[in-house]
Amino acid sequence: MSESKVDMKLFYACFISLVTTAFGFILRALILPQWGVDFNLTQTQLGEIAGVGLWPFAISIVLFSLVIDKIGYKTAMIFAIVCHIASAILTIFATGYWMLYIGCFIVAIGNGTVEAVANPVVATMFPKQKIKWLSILHAGWAGGLVLGGIMALTLGVDTQWQYKIGLILIPTLIYGFMTISLKF
């Protein structure tokens, strides 16, 4: 398949979706100690919240990989967008442990869905250069960790954590608008 303009827009949407997954991880990691203080959470509860950001990620990669060809890549990517937005809203308005837990669960499902979509899409787009383009794609993960972390830290320690969680909406909306206009 040639690297046409449409192909590259699809690649960039996948790339930015991986940036979003990285934001989901780094923002929560940076904010977790503050949640402990604000919500009077135990170390066990903080561990559970951190953990629920991981295991659903792995499970959703496997489950979506099994059904992705039936439901469609665009449908799955839209599901990931909804998960990222819903998680941000739920987390921003959290009043305690369970809302934080569910918010982290939802973002992990969205993150795993992105992985289940982006990898096969990019591999299909560039069948003769899979390794090259999958490597570039996954630079979005590392770049997202750095960018999300810098953005959150730049806001400063006095900025409420809700604003920092809201940062995930920036790449989410970008890849969301791109996804809606693309053909998979």
Task: With cut-offs at 50, 70 and 90, classify the pLDDT of residue 60.
Answer: very high
Distances (CA, A) of 103 to 22, 43, 128: 15, 18, 39
Q: What is the pTM of this model?
A: 0.91
pLDDT at position 183: 79
pLDDT at position 184: 80
| DSSP 8-state class, residue 96 | S
pLDDT at position 3: 53
User: Distance (Å, rounded) from C-alpha 98 to C-alpha 119?
Assistant: 32
User: Distance (Å, rounded) from C-alpha 87 to C-alpha 119?
Assistant: 23
Average pLDDT, the chain: 93
- At residue 95's C-alpha, the angle toward residues 91 and 98, to 5°, is 70
pLDDT at position 182: 81
Domains along the sequence of the chain with CATH: 5-181 (1.20.1250.20)
Contact 98, 110 (CB under 8 A): no
pLDDT in tens, 2-44: 555 546 899 999 999 999 999 999 999 999 999 999 999 999 9
